[in-house]
Amino acid sequence: MKRALGILGVTVALSACASTVVEVDSSAPTERTDANGSVETVPTTTLPIVGTTGELLAEMATDMSQLSAQIADTGDEQATLRRITAIWAVAQPDVEATRRDLAGGIQTTVDMARNAVARIRPADADKAFQILSNLVDRYTGAA
């Protein structure tokens, strides 16, 4: 808990920087249950979150694009969702400061992804990805 608050504090403090690095550390392995009810322990790793806000949002969209297939099959949707959430935690302060009009929409896609994983709804993850892609394009000026 203290580590998570520390990461959040660092995230907020560094959000104004052009490039941000945050280490997402999940020291405890996670358990995953497959369609047959078998439980398997999946080790987690430390993944750095590095880049400008535009790069982070593009990375978040890439991760979101994989979520539907992971939910439908035996993918690691929980790890992908954690990564999406962590990237958004890093990018959110800058998006709110520079493009407040997009922040709520991006948060909605993260919430949609969370619900898609919890309710095992791959189509909801696809919809979240489509919306997020459009928002990222608007943020980066690609639209």
Count of the separate structural domains present in the chain:
1
Boundaries of domain holding 62: 2-140
CB within 8 Å of 116: residues ≥ 6 apart: 67, 68, 71, 122, 123, 124, 125, 128
User: Nearest to residue 135, comparing CAs of 53, 17, 70?
Assistant: 53
SS3 120: coil
**Chain segment 26-54, per-residue pLDDT in tens:** 444 455 455 555 555 544 455 678 899 99
Runs of H (alpha helix) within the chain: 2-14, 53-72, 77-98, 100-119, 122-140
Which amino acid is located at 106 in the chain?
I
Q: What is the CATH number of the domain that holds 54?
A: 1.20.120
The answer to whether 20 and 11 are in contact (CB under 8 A) is: yes
| DSSP-assigned letter for residue 33 | E
Residue-wise pLDDT for 84-115, tens only, equals 999 999 999 999 999 999 999 999 999 999 99
